[in-house]
Every structure is written in structure tokens, then in C-alpha cells.
Amino acid sequence: MLDGNFRKSVETVTLPTGRWLVRIGFSADVLTFSGLVFSFATAWMIALGHFWIAIVLLTLTGFHDLFDGPVAKASKRASQRGAFFDSVMDRVTDSLILGGVAYYLTAHGHGQLVLLPFAILTTTYLISYQRSKAESLGLAAKGGLMERAERMILLGVGLLAKPIFIPVLWIMLALTAMTAAGRFWRIWQIAASADPPMTQAGRIHHHSSRIRRGLSRTSRR
């Protein structure tokens, strides 16, 4: 949601800051990697139950994630390699932080609730995969109620006080699941309107092509 609706207004602040960071010697890859380090520290503080320290570290993690793109643009070194590195590190960051949440729940005797952060993580991966697959097919897939920025903000709210931590996790799971379902439906509708029904001749050609590819693979074994 924030990514889709407020990116232009946010960039009026982040782009000048990105140029300043480049002038003092930062690169996008350095910010991405240091953000990973801060996410590990965030996860560790959550695991130990030091929530206020975790909020500070989570904010710093978000700062790195917010500015690595503007730094890449300002340095004129934006690349597919950098985008790939950033995307993979985002997934690692999500795994670390929710792993810290799982450890905290286990250490404090919450039993089966340890599955809650893993359910959130699985659903967030589904959201990411839907966007990745849709964009590989040339379909628009941005937007949604609970994207990565919103998840980090909501987690920060949950870290404000231990009594609300688990209820906030349930809210995060519900909103993330709604986002995944909404994105699936939106992409399904776009794909249906963009992809004309295959004719009978087309189906025969598609089927025969699959058979030829299968025979070709068999002959190479």
C-alpha cells in the first residue's frame, strides 16, 4: 500500500538523502549488507525479549532498506545484480526477524504459537512470489494492504508492549493473508483479460510442442 501510493512523495526526501550518502562514500550494496547485520541484531533482541532495543534496531534496519535504492540511483550504478541482491537480502531479513519472534515465543512457553511467525513468513513469501511470477509474465502486481513496509511498521507497534505483541502478530497474519488473497485475485483478473482463450488449433499445437520437447529431453538422457 505504501509502496504503491506514497513512493513518489517519499522519493522527494530519499533521493536527496541518497545523493548525500553517495557523496560521503556509501554504496547501495554496503547499505543492503549493513541492513542485514542490523536485522540479525533486531532478531537477537526480539529473541531475548529486549523489545525497546529491538524497536531501535528495526528502525535502523528499515532505514537501510529505505535508502539503498536511492543510493543506487544517485550513484548511477543501479543494476540487475544489485536489485537481485537487495531482493534476496529482504527475504533473509524477514526470515531472521520472524525467526527471532519464534525463538521468543518458544523461550516464554507459548507452545504451539511458535507456528504463528512461520505462518506469517510463509504468507509473506507467497506475496513476494506472486509479484515475481506475475512480473515475469509481464503483468502488474504491485500494491496491497500489507506489503513489506507495513509489516515492519506493524511489528514495531507490537514491540511497544509485551501484552499486545501476540495479538499484533495475529493481526499481521490476518492482514498478510488478505493481501495474498487479494493479490492473487487481482493478478488472476488481469491475466484473464490479457490472455485470450486458446483456440482448438492452438491447443493442439501447444500439446504437440510439449510432446516434442518431452521426446527431445528423453533422447538426450
Each residue of 17-30: pLDDT tens digit?
A: 778 887 887 788 88
Mean pLDDT across the chain: 82
Report field, pTM of the whole predicted structure over 0.85: no
Q: Is 111 left (phi over 0), alpha (psi -120 to 50) or beta?
A: left
Give me the mean pLDDT over the 40-48 stretch: 96
Topology of the domain comprising 2-220: Four Helix Bundle (Hemerythrin (Met), subunit A) (1.20.120)
46 pLDDT band, cuts 50/70/90, is: very high
8, 9, 58, 59 from 13: Cα distances, Å? 9, 8, 20, 17
**pLDDT above 90 covers what percent of the chain?**
43
What pLDDT is recorded for position 170? 96
Give me the mean pLDDT over the 34-39 stretch: 93
What pLDDT is recorded for position 197? 52
Give me the mean pLDDT over the 68-91 stretch: 83
> Pick the residue with more confidence: 6 or 82?
82
Does 205 score more than 70 pLDDT? no
Encoded amino acid at 151, one letter: R
Does 5 score more than 70 pLDDT? no
Q: What are the catalytic residues?
A: 90
168 pLDDT band, cuts 50/70/90, is: very high
193 pLDDT band, cuts 50/70/90, is: confident
Does 143 score more than 60 pLDDT? yes
4, 33, 148 from 73: Cα distances, Å? 19, 17, 21
